[in-house]
Amino acid sequence: MSTKFAFHGGVHPPENKRQSTGGPIQVAPVPERLVVPLSQHIGAPSEVVVNVGDKVLKGQVISEAVGRLSVNVHAPSSGVVEAIESRPVPHISGMTAPCIIIKTDGQDQWCEHQGLEDYQSISKQELLDFIRFRGISGMGGAGFPTDVKLHLGDDHIVNTLVINAMECEPYITADDMLMREHADQVVKGIEIIAHLLKPHHVMIGTEDNKPQAIRAMEQAVAESKLDIDIIVVPTVYPSGGEKQLIKLLTGVEVPSGKIPADVGIVCQNVGTASAIYDAVYNGVPLISRIVTLTGDALGHPHNMRALIGTPLETLLQAAEVKDKELYRLVIGGPMMGFTVDSQSIPMIKTTNCVIAATYDEMPPAPAANPCIRCGMCEQVCPAELLPQQLHWFAKGKEFEKAKHHNLFDCIECGACSYVCPSNIPLVQYYRFAKSEIRAEEAEQRKADHARMRFEARQERLEREKEEKALRRKQRAEEAAKAQAVKKDKASQTTEKATNSGEPDLRALKTAAAVARTKLKKAQKALQLAEEKGVGDIDKLRQTVTELEAKEKATQEAYDQAQSAPAPAPVVDIKQLKTNAAVARTKLKQAEKALAKAEESGEGDIEALKAKLVEQQAKTEKAQAAYDQAESGNAPQAAAPVVNLDELKETMDAAQSKVDKAQKALDAAIASGSPAVEKMKAGVEKLQGKYEEAKAEYDKAISSAAPAQAATANIDELKADMDAIQAKVEKAQKALDAAIASGSPAVDKMKAGVEKLQGKYEEAKAEYERAISSAAPAQAATVNIDELKADMDAIQAKVEKAQKALDAAIASGSPAAEKMKAGVEKLQGKYEEAKAEYEKALEVQPQASSANLDELKADMETMQGKVEKAQKALDAALASGSPAAEKMKAGVEKLQGKYEELKQEFVSAGGQINEPEPEKAIDPKALKQNVSIMRTKLKKAQAALDESEDDTELQAEVERLSKAHDEAKAAFDAYEKEQIDKAAAEGVDLKQLKIDAAMARAAVTKAERALDKAREAQQDDLPEIEQQLMAAQQEAEKLNQTLNRFTH
């Protein structure tokens, strides 16, 4: 026998329950229209999954839960979805909310549904999902999603399960009648809840004013295998409050701000237990409930099982309402319920009572008087608050003080308002204060979020500013270093030229140019002075004469230096000797490596032998060069090497100046500037300099020795050619756009395109000349891999452009012609790249076929070793072996050897056909794609339904339907593949996921227990730490196994 406790306060209002318990529960008629709100619970509203015009069956899901704290909504009867719109719903504020309106067909036809034969044989998660799918939420209070409460055992230790059968509020008898007529269903529902939560103790609490229900429950409990205590307590309001009931039955007080699960207790209502029974045993979702119809304005007060969404008007008519006597319509009880003005409002999952009161039964509330500080409200408050003080805080809008006085512990039972002699509507003040505090907190959260974003932005900007400053500093330092190195090289070159007696052609050329410039300026000054008869003409003539002599001398020196033979190169015997010594050292190292490999039998002996032979050849070559230089038989100096790069830079710079001056001249002509003649002369002068530079460059190209031609930087020439070609293409696009828009600048842009085309032809000719004059040795070193990569890249572009062209042609795009020209241009580039690659293959020395086969065999053998080692590593990781890290290093080492052999095989001319890597499948993306396709399909279908006859919309719906089916098939195939993959290794993937989730929950539970043990300084702390470690290891092992099949 359990001990009975008591809670603070409470009142004894008139019960008024006998009026509705005189007859059995009756079935309410099916209304012509059902109004089903999307939100009938705490949490997020559900998401509509049907469309207007859809035919629905009884029990069919019409809106799905969104997120964890949400509930499915089902069709209460069969019919057609007539509208999806906002309608008035049961709420104290009289608000409207989205609803699905179903026009019933009178057939009440069920969809396919079936219960579980043995719920104990399936996993806990599967059972919870089964209950969640059927839309069960709390039926005794605020409508909390039931599956969330049933999950509390995952991270809380549940010792006691309390079943609330109090129904303490006046008038309401729905739970009383449920226990009288269906006690067995209630007990079986409790058994299901106990199976999920595994409590040590199950208690049913009820008041002593329900003797018939108590007897029925005692008989049903006697037949149950569970040890259930039925605790009968004295009738007092509000004993049905969750915290008050727990205090009554267990003596445990739930702390402020906590939930019952924090003290090891879970509370459920008898109506919820009955709904769980219907869901599990019969597969019936929550589409109806028992509702009490009472009040003096009803001719036949009684309890009815009515469909969710039934308008109050239908229920009142079934209870023979007296419209003339009806004064107030209340949903809920007289203490915590609220008045509604319209009979079209539907009943929902939490509607347990409808009171049709007369004027005498519920007269208007009298006017409020000032508080007399009697203290009666404090005496009856079941939450042990100070209602009078909270009233003053709410009235004075001192919300922070109200919050600190535990305002949110108020359950709004109305006991304080009931006993107040001043008729102050205290609960309304508390509701107002709570709403204001929630609004302020929401605004504060928004402000904090905005502040955090602002601070993060400021921090990012500051960081970027510092990084830019650092980069600028680094660039300045690098530029300074580069300038210093350049100066050092210049000084070394000058010193070397001075020491060797070799003339500096560049310096002489600059000196000659400067002398010519000074001479021209002096001649102009003399001419001006003679014309105007001013200045010291004799002195100017003397200056001209001196400058003419100087100009002649510098030009002769430059010409003489150009024609002078190059001095013989200085042979650095010391360097040659060092090269020979280094080569001998490397040879000895190669010999030792080979000997060590032959002794141990490890390593690639054949590769080491080949390396030794190669090093012997290098050593002999270095030694021969040194011996030849030491004996005085060094080879004669080659012809002087002309710096083609410098000449080309000079020519390009001159051309750039010409282009710039020409643009300025064109602008001056267009604006009618008086400086046109002078600018023309400047352009002609710059053009002359450009011609000189070009002639000098062409002369150097034509007179270059074969050895020089071999050293021409072909890559740079090709890069220059490609860059100019890109400019040509860009300019051509701009010209096409200008022609299309009728721009007046077309002629000028055409000239620019022709000029760029000329430059491209020159660059191309120079590149082809360098290619043709390259020595065979150079041709042999052409990087075939790069040429092939270029060819493949261009081929990919061709294919991509061709696809785009095909799509444009199919859609009748006006850009098809332009795209066709682009494809042809890319095809031409591909042919050029292919020809260059094939030409390089012809001159590239190839390894013998026997050698290629040997290299390929070595490579394939090493690849097999890599795969074998990788499999062993995977097995070690799955079993948690301590040798996993060492094995991982071994795999990386073998992979490196494989890459070396692969590179050697390719360099020898071998071809590798590697399979394309499989694209990683993202299950989250697949699931999201299914959801996106479904949403798009619904929107398109809705648009099609609204339109009369739209062929395009019909085609879009068909396309989206196909895309949705494909996305769903892809996701289903992925899931099946993962399940089959696991099954092949003897693993039940579904059970593995459940076990992994339970293991993670066990870790959470152990962590909480450890925290509590540390706070209480318990003696068994080491034992709890060991349990936590064991739980973590088990969870890690299961998660690793799960990741093998799901990632």
Contact 89, 350 (CB under 8 A): no
Contact 836, 901 (CB under 8 A): no
Q: What are phi and psi of 66, to 5 degrees?
A: -115, 110
Classified as helix, coil or strand, 881 is: coil
**Ramachandran class of 243: left when φ > 0, alpha when ψ lies in -120 to 50, beta otherwise:** alpha
Q: What are phi and psi of 15, to 5 degrees?
A: -75, -45
Q: What is the C-alpha to C-alpha distance for residues 507 and 524, in angstroms, rounded to an integer?
A: 26
DSSP of 335-347: TT-EEES-TTPBP
Bridge-based pairing of strands 353-357 and 288-294 is parallel
Q: What is the C-alpha to C-alpha distance for residues 436 and 402, in angstroms, rounded to an integer?
A: 11
In sequence order, the 6+-apart residues with CB closer than 8 A to the CB of 982 are: 988, 989, 992, 1045
DSSP of 199-235: -SEEEEEEETT-HHHHHHHHHHHHTSSS-EEEEEE--
**Ramachandran class of 152: left when φ > 0, alpha when ψ lies in -120 to 50, beta otherwise:** alpha
Cβ-based neighbour number of residue 231 at 10 Å:
20
Tell me the H-state helices in 564-572: none
Q: What is the C-alpha to C-alpha distance for residues 805 and 794, in angstroms, rounded to an integer?
A: 16
DSSP of 644-694: HHHHHHHHHHHHHHHHHHHHHHHHHHHHT-TTHHHHHHHHHHHHHHHHHHH
According to the annotation, is 374 in a ligand binding site?
A: yes
Pull the structure tokens for residue 826: 């890319």
Classified as helix, coil or strand, 324 is: coil
Contact 903, 910 (CB under 8 A): no
Contact 675, 667 (CB under 8 A): no
Q: Could you list the beta-strand ranges (E) of 736-891.
A: none
According to the annotation, is 410 in a ligand binding site?
A: yes
Contact 334, 170 (CB under 8 A): yes
To 10 degrees, what angle do helices 124-133 and 989-1016 make? 100
Contact 152, 266 (CB under 8 A): yes
* CA-CA-CA-CA dihedral for 703, 705, 710, 711, to nearest 10: -80
**Angle in degrees, CA 21, 417, 414, rounded to 5:** 50
According to the annotation, is 420 in a ligand binding site?
A: yes
Pull the structure tokens for residue 197: 């939560």
Cβ-based neighbour number of residue 915 at 10 Å:
5
Residue type, 306: A
According to the annotation, is 377 in a ligand binding site?
A: yes
Contact 74, 59 (CB under 8 A): yes
According to the annotation, is 111 in a ligand binding site?
A: no
According to the annotation, is 353 in a ligand binding site?
A: no
Contact 92, 338 (CB under 8 A): yes
Q: What are phi and psi of 23, to 5 degrees?
A: -135, 170
Q: How many CA atoms lie within 13 A of 523 on its CB side?
A: 10
Binding annotation for [4Fe-4S] cluster = 371, 374, 377, 381, 410, 413, 416, 420
Binding annotation = 371, 374, 377, 381, 410, 413, 416, 420
